[in-house]
Chain A
Amino acid sequence: GAVVSQHPSWVICKSGTSVKIECRSLDFQATTMFWYRQFPKQSLMLMATSNEGSKATYEQGVEKDKFLINHASLTLSTLTVTSAHPEDSSFYICSAREVFGSGRANTGELFFGEGSRLTVL
């Protein structure tokens, strides 16, 4: 099956600093990647949709200037949490779908990364 790798798996930072999380599709090309945030014992909340070569689309209530998303290639999307604060501490998970034209692209299946646990002190 398709593999999505996320790095780092966990990170601790000081309040006010920025943290970058990478999401890579290892064996397929991803036109679209999605970033989710999950607080303890809660569901996965979609933060934004990133498309290769264009600006990300953010969900309502998500600050685009705080959560910077870059999808510079078909295999890499990055999420940067800028000026992190303790309330940003969460589990961030990316997911990806394959490019159109491949066998899997329109099946609907998404492939998830391992997740990144961010703790802001």
Chain B
Amino acid sequence: GENVEQHPSTLSVQEGDSAVIKCTYSDSASNYFPWYKQELGKRPQLIIDIRSNVGEKKDQRIAVTLNKTAKHFSLHITETQPEDSAVYFCAASNPPRGYNKLIFGAGTRLAVHP
């Protein structure tokens, strides 16, 4: 089955700096890669996602890149703000197989210091 690894486990940056979180996956058939932000005690919130027919996607300060050959994808947050502080999870799945079984990475705790 799919296995997703995520690094780093914790990340501390100064406000205004960029943050990068990286993930690798094992199943070459996976073709959907979402990123979630989770605040303490709350549900994961989808912040951006990318599919295998795209190499990069950007939404304001957030961007995701995908390298299918290497089976890794990354989240980039620019101009970080204190409210970006949360736990971020990457995930991978293969929707057309009939399920959308998302397998999550271990998470990255991001702290943005004013």
Contacts and interface: CB of A to CB of B under 8 A. Distances in A.
Interface in A5-51: 32, 34, 41-46, 49
Interface string A90-121: 01010101000000001111101111010000
A34 B102 contact: yes
Interface stretch (B14-22, B37-45, B66-74): B37-45
Contacts of B51: 108
Given A93-B43, A113-B43, A115-B43, A108 B101 contact: no
A94 to B, nearest CB: 10
Report the 5 A-B pairs with minimum CB-CB distance, sorted nearest first.
A108-B32, A108-B95, A112-B43, A44-B104, A97-B100
A97 B34 CA distance: 14
Given A43-B105, A43-B106, A49-B101, A108 B44 contact: no
Contacts of B96: 106
Interface residues of B, number: 23
Contact of B44 (A41, A44, A46, A117): A44
Contacts of A110: 34, 100, 102
Interface in B61-111: 89, 93, 95-96, 99-107, 109
Nearest to B90: A43
Given A108-B93, A112-B44, A46 B107 contact: no
B29 interface: no
B42 A115 contact: yes
Contacts of A117: 41
Interface in A69-109: 91, 93, 95, 97, 106-109
Contact of B34 (A42, A49, A108): A108
A106 B99 CA distance: 9
Contacts of A106: 95-96
B95 A44 contact: no
Contact of A46 (B89, B95, B101): B101
